Amino acid sequence: MNKQPLTLRPLPKPRVEIINLIDVMITLVAFFMLTTVFAGQQQRLELELPVVQNGENNSSLPEHEFLLIELDHDGKLSFQGSHLPLSALPTVLLEQNPARPVLLRADRTCSYEMVVWIIDQLKAAGLNQLALEVKTAQ
């Protein structure tokens, strides 16, 4: 038997495929964009909510379905996570969908007059579904 040497063609030079790297890069960019948007929603005022003895959660809607209005003890107002001057609240409320419910988070030491003023502005804008957030005693 005659043995012949096996001739192999030379292998091509190694190269880096960047298409896979581009896919990974796009995935990372999309991930960071989405988490950054959601992180913006979490910016809230530091509030100490009033405490109730016999409280229960009557809301069947998730919190992101509500228009969120927050009022701290200094009278600073926040609408949907961003600070808003008091004078701008009536205009912003008129631009909202009247069927959307409103969640009012007010610090327990804030002015009662300010809470009543906000409720009055909600009525004037046609926003009639209001929930007041409280903390349940443990």
User: Burial of 79 by CB count in 10 Å (0-12 exposed, 13-18 middle, 19+ buried)?
Assistant: middle
Residue 79 lies in a domain: yes
Provide the pLDDT for residue 58. 61
Within a domain: 46: no
Residue 81 located in a structural domain: yes
Give a yes or no: residue 116 inside a domain.
Answer: yes
| pLDDT at residue 75 in the model | 86
In a domain, 10, yes or no: no
Domain range for 74 is 51-136
Within a domain: residue 33?
Answer: no
Q: What is the pLDDT along the chain (138 residues), one digit of tens a residue?
A: 678 888 888 988 988 888 888 898 999 999 988 887 655 455 566 766 677 777 566 666 677 788 999 998 888 899 988 889 989 999 999 999 999 999 998 888 888 899 999 999 999 999 998 888 877 766
67 part of a folded domain: yes
Any idea what the CATH number is for the domain that residue 126 is in? 3.30.420.270
Looking at residue 45, what is its pLDDT? Answer: 66
The answer as to whether 99 is a domain residue is yes
| Length of the chain counted residue by residue | 138
Nearest Cα to Cα of residue 129 among 96, 101, 104, 106: 101
The number of domains in the chain is: 1
**What integer pLDDT is reported at residue 18 of this predicted model?**
85
